[in-house]
C-alpha cells in the first residue's frame, strides 16, 4: 500500500513524537523515579526481551518452545561467571577450571558471550528438534529445560549447584536494559517484516505449500531459533547482573509460565502485542503479589495468600485459551499507519473546508 507523501510525513511525525515521549519517560524515571519504580522498569525491559524473543520464534514459526528459559539460564550463568572478579571467584567457585578462573570481562562482552553460548546450544539442539511439531516439540523443548536445570545443579564447579550464585556485579542500569530491549524490538520487527519473516510465517501457516514454493523449512526455522536464543541469553545476562544473586530455581517452570502467559496475552506472533502483554501481566502480578501478605476487608483478614499471583496467571491463561486464543493483537502489529491515515484524512478535510470558505467569500 503506497502512502502519499502527506501520509508518510504524518508517520514520521508520529514516530518522532513517540521517540520523544519514550525518551522523556525514560529520562523522568531515571531522574525522579524512586528505586522501586526503576527496578520495575528494568525488570519490565528484561521480561520484554524474553517475551519478544520467544514470540519471535514461537509466534512466527508456530513451533512452541517451552525450553527458552534454558537459554536465559545459560546466558545468566555464562555472563556472571565472566564478570565475577577473581577474588570472588576464588571464594565462590574454587573449582572453576583454568581459563575461566583467571578471566574477567567487562559487562558488554560478557553479555554478548552469554548470548553466544545460548546461540551455540540452540544450534546444536535446534537442528534435530525443530523438525518435530505440535505438542511433541513442546515437550521435547521442555525436556531441554529440565536437562539444563539438571546440568546447572550438578556442574557445581561452574554454578555452585543449588546454592545461590552471589556476588554478581550490579552492572544492569536502566540505560543498558533499554538499549538492549530496543535493539531486540528493532531486530524482531525487522525480521518479521522481512522476506525471511514472510517465509517463516508461510511455513507456519502452510508447511507443505511453503515447501512447494521453495521455502527451506528447517533453515528458516533455525534462523529464527538462533536469533531468539541469542537475545534470550543476553536477557539472562542482564537479569543476572540486575538481581546479582540467583539459583537454578529461577530458570524453571514459574518463569516459563510467566513468559508464556505474557506472550499469549499480547498475541502469538505480534511483537507490539508482546509489549502490551508484558505490561499488562506484570502490572497484574505486581498487584496480586502486593495482596499476597493478606487482604483486610473491614474486620476480616484473609491471608497470607501465597501463590496468588500464580493463580491469577493460571486463570488468565485458561480464560484466554477458552475465549480469546489470539490474545490482544493476534498476529498483527499495532502500527502508526492507521493513525497517520486518519490524521491525514482529518487534515485534508480541514484544508478542503478552508478552501471552500475562501472560494465562497470570493464569489458570493
Partner 1 sequence: MQTLGSLEFWIQQGINALGLGSQYALMAVGLAMVFAVMRLINFAHGTVMMAGAYIGWLLLQRGTPFPLVALGMVLGAAALGIAMERVAYRPVRGAPDVALLLNSFAVAVLLENLAILIFSPRSRPFPMPEILTQVLHPGGDLFLPSIHLWALGGALLALTALALFVTRTRLGLAMRAAAENPTAAQLMGIDIGKVTLLAFAIGSAMAGLAVLFWTAHVGTINPGMGFEPVLKAFVACVIGGFGTIPGAVLGGYLLGALEIFLQGILPSGVVGYRDALVYAVLILILLARPGGVLGYLEAERV
| Candidate residues 133, 194, 290, 356; the one interacting with partner 1 per rule CB under 8 A | 133
# residues contacting partner 1 (CB under 8 A): 42
The Cα 95–Cα 106 span in angstroms is 22
| Residue 251 binds partner 1 (CB under 8 A) | no
Q: Which residues touch 259 (CB under 8 Å, ≥6 apart)?
A: 47, 50, 51, 54, 68, 69
Least separation, in Å, of the C-beta of 60 and partner 1?
Answer: 14
The Cα 62–Cα 132 span in angstroms is 11
Where are the strands (E) in the chain, listed by range? 295-297, 300-302
| Candidate residues 318, 339, 352, 357; the one interacting with partner 1 per rule CB under 8 A | 318
- x/- site string to partner 1, residues 181 to 210, per CB under 8 A? --------------------------xx--
| Candidate residues 123, 186, 306, 346; the one interacting with partner 1 per rule CB under 8 A | 306
| Candidate residues 138, 198, 291, 343; the one interacting with partner 1 per rule CB under 8 A | 138
Burial status of residue 111 (CB atoms within 10 A of its CB: 0-12, 13-18, 19 or more): buried
The Cα 54–Cα 67 span in angstroms is 10
Q: Which stretch binds partner 1 (CB under 8 A): 1-9, 144-152, 177-185, 270-278?
A: 144-152
Q: Which residues on adjacent β-strands are paired with residue 165?
A: 246
Least separation, in Å, of the C-beta of 235 and partner 1?
Answer: 22
| Candidate residues 19, 22, 124, 136; the one interacting with partner 1 per rule CB under 8 A | 136
| Candidate residues 29, 116, 139, 288; the one interacting with partner 1 per rule CB under 8 A | 139
| Candidate residues 260, 271, 275, 276; the one interacting with partner 1 per rule CB under 8 A | 260
Instruction: Quote the Cα angle for 344-191-280, to 5°.
Output: 70
The Cα 117–Cα 130 span in angstroms is 19
Q: Which residues on adjacent β-strands are paired with residue 302?
A: 295
The Cα 188–Cα 209 span in angstroms is 25
Residues that bind partner 1 (CB under 8 A): 64, 128-129, 131-136, 138-140, 142-144, 146-147, 150-151, 153-154, 207-208, 217, 253, 257, 260, 264, 305-308, 310-311, 313-315, 317-318, 321-322, 325
Amino acid at each position: 500500500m503506497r502512502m502519499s507523501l502527506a501520509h508518510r510525513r504524518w508517520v514520521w511525525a508520529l514516530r518522532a513524537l513517540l521517540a520523544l515521549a519514550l525518551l522523556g519517560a525514560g529520562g523522568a524515571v531515571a531522574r525522579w523515579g524512586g528505586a522501586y519504580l526503576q527496578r520495575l522498569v528494568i525488570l519490565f525491559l528484561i521480561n520484554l526481551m524474553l517475551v519478544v524473543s520467544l514470540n519471535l520464534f514461537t509466534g512466527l514459526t508456530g513451533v512452541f518452545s517451552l525450553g527458552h528459559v534454558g537459554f536465559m539460564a545459560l546466558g545468566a550463568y555464562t555472563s556472571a561467571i565472566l564478570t565475577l572478579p577473581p577474588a570472588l571467584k576464588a571464594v565462590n567457585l574454587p573449582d572453576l577450571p583454568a581459563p575461566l578462573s583467571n578471566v574477567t570481562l567487562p559487562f558488554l562482552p560478557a553479555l554478548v558471550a552469554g548470548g553466544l553460548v545460548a546461540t551455540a546450544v540452540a544450534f546444536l539442539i535446534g537442528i534435530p528438534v525443530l523438525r518435530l511439531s505440535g505438542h511433541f516439540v513442546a515437550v521435547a523443548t521442555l525436556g531441554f529445560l529440565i536437562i539444563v536445570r539438571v546440568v546447572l545443579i550438578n556442574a557445581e564447579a561452574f554454578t555452585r549447584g543449588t546454592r545461590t550464585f552471589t556476588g554478581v556485579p550490579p552492572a544492569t542500569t536502566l540505560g543498558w536494559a533499554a538499549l538492549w530491549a530496543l535493539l531486540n524490538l528493532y531486530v524482531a520487527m525487522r525480521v518479521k517484516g522481512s522476506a525471511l519473516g514472510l517465509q517463516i510465517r508461510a511455513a507456519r501457516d502452510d508447511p507443505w505449500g511453503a515447501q512447494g514454493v521453495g521455502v527451506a523449512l528447517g533453515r528458516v526455522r533455525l534462523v529464527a531459533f538462533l536469533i531468539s536464543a541469542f537475545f534470550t541469553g543476553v536477557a539472562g545476562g542482564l537479569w543476572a547482573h540486575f538481581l546479582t544473586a540467583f539459583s537454578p530455581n529461577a530458570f524453571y517452570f514459574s518463569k516459563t509460565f510467566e513468559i508464556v502467559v505474557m506472550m499469549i496475552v499480547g498475541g502469538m506472533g505480534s511483537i507490539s502485542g508482546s509489549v502490551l502483554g508484558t505490561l499488562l501481566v506484570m502490572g497484574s502480578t505486581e498487584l496480586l503479589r502486593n495482596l499476597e501478605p493478606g487482604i483486610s476487608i473491614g474486620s476480616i483478614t484473609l491471608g497470607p495468600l501465597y501463590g496468588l499471583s500464580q493463580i491469577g496467571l493460571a486463570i488468565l491463561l485458561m480464560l484466554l485459551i477458552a475465549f480469546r486464543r489470539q490474545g490482544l493483537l493476534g498476529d498483527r502489529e499495532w502500527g502508526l499507519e492507521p493513525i497517520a491515515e486518519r490524521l491525514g484524512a482529518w487534515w485534508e478535510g480541514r484544508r478542503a473546508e478552508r478552501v471552500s470558505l475562501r472560494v465562497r467569500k470570493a464569489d458570493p
